Amino acid sequence: MEIKEELFRPILTTRGRKTGKEHSVMLRAVNHNGKIYFSRHKPDGDWFKNAIVNPQVKITYNDKVFSGTAKEITDEELGKKISYLKYPGEERAKEKRVTIEVTLNED
């Protein structure tokens, strides 16, 4: 894996759960213990729903494209850790969030 930053803003590309078309969005991400994490306040975002239904995703960062597999995490303690890493020193780090974990493929 060539992503070194702990907190960064890549483009996450998911495949639409209804259309099958690729959809891309820039998000704040956390690099923690060799995995990439994306979170949001509620599970109603299209990128979140798409990643759950179609777990093969792409992450574009620094002009490089990484492919990986997403899954929702259910470990509450890990979810809290990711929120604190994602929003250091911010009040919203304390909010309960839904989180996906992306394991990058070895290329």
User: Which of these, 43, 34, 53, 41, lies nearest to 91 by C-alpha position?
Assistant: 41
Q: What is the pTM of this model?
A: 0.94
User: Which of these, 34, 42, 37, lies nearest to 78 by C-alpha position?
Assistant: 37
> Could you tell me the pLDDT band of residue 107, with boundaries at 50, 70 and 90?
low
Structure tokens at 53: 């239904």
Asked whether residue 64 carries a pLDDT value surpassing 90, the answer given is yes
> Could you tell me the pLDDT band of residue 106, with boundaries at 50, 70 and 90?
confident
